[in-house]
Homo-oligomer: A and B are copies of this chain.
Amino acid sequence: MTSNNVIAGETIHPDDVTIGVDIGGTTTSVGVVDSNGKRLYMTRFPTRGQESAQQFLPRLAQVIRNLLNELHPVRQLQGIGIASPAANWRAGTVEHPANLNWGTVNIVEMMRSFFPVPVVVANDCDAAVFGEMQYGAAKGMKNFIMISMGTGLGGGIVIDGKLFQGEHGAAAEFGHITIDAEGRVCGCGRRGCVETYVSASGLRRTVAELLARQTDSSALRGMSFDEITAEEVYNLARSDDRIATRAFALTGEYLGRMLSNIVATLDPQAVVLYGGLVNAGDLLAEPTRRSFEENALHRYRGQVDILISALNNGEAAILGASSLVRETFVAKAV
**A residues lining the B interface (CB < 8 Å):** 142-143, 157, 159, 164-174, 176-178, 181, 188-190, 257, 260-262, 264-269, 295, 297-300, 303
A177 touches which one: B159, B190, B264 (CB < 8 A)?
B264
Residue from the set A178, A268, A269 with the largest chain B CB neighbour count within 10 Å: A178
- CB-defined contacts of A165 to chain B, threshold 8 Å: 267
Docked complex Cα distance between A164 and B303 (Å): 18
A264 to chain B, nearest CB (A): 4
Docked complex Cα distance between A297 and B154 (Å): 14
A25 to chain B, nearest CB (A): 20
- Please report whether the interface of chain A is mostly helix, strand, loop or mixed according to DSSP: loop
Q: Please state if A181 and B257 are interface contacts (CB–CB under 8 Å).
A: yes
Q: Please state if A166 and B261 are interface contacts (CB–CB under 8 Å).
A: no
Contact (A298, B189) CB under 8 Å given A166-B268, A265-B172 = yes
Known: A168-B303, A172-B265, A174-B264. 4 other contacts (CB 8 A): A170-B267, A173-B297, A190-B295, A190-B297
A176 to chain B, nearest CB (A): 4
- CB-defined contacts of A300 to chain B, threshold 8 Å: 170
Number of copies: 2
Contact (A166, B190) CB under 8 Å given A264-B173, A265-B174 = no
A44 to chain B, nearest CB (A): 31
- CB-defined contacts of A298 to chain B, threshold 8 Å: 188-189
Q: Please state if B167 and A264 are interface contacts (CB–CB under 8 Å).
A: no
Contact (A265, B267) CB under 8 Å given A170-B300, A260-B178, A298-B189 = no
- CB-defined contacts of A169 to chain B, threshold 8 Å: 267
Q: Please state if B188 and A297 are interface contacts (CB–CB under 8 Å).
A: yes
Q: Please state if A177 and B265 are interface contacts (CB–CB under 8 Å).
A: yes
A197 to chain B, nearest CB (A): 13
- CB-defined contacts of A265 to chain B, threshold 8 Å: 157, 171-174, 177, 262, 265-266
Docked complex Cα distance between A260 and B176 (Å): 9
A166 to chain B, nearest CB (A): 3
Docked complex Cα distance between A164 and B165 (Å): 14
Q: Please state if B143 and A167 are interface contacts (CB–CB under 8 Å).
A: yes
Docked complex Cα distance between A303 and B303 (Å): 34
Docked complex Cα distance between A22 and B189 (Å): 44
Closest chain B residue to A304, Cβ basis: B167
Residue from the set A170, A176, A265, A297 with the largest chain B CB neighbour count within 10 Å: A265
A176 touches which one: B166, B190, B264 (CB < 8 A)?
B264
Docked complex Cα distance between A314 and B30 (Å): 57
A195 to chain B, nearest CB (A): 11
30 pairs of residues in contact across A and B, judged by CB atoms under 8 Å: A142-B167, A143-B166, A143-B167, A159-B159, A159-B164, A165-B267, A166-B266, A168-B299, A169-B267, A170-B299, A170-B300, A170-B303, A171-B266, A172-B267, A173-B265, A173-B267, A173-B297, A173-B299, A174-B264, A176-B264, A177-B261, A177-B264, A177-B265, A178-B257, A181-B257, A190-B295, A190-B297, A261-B261, A262-B265, A265-B265
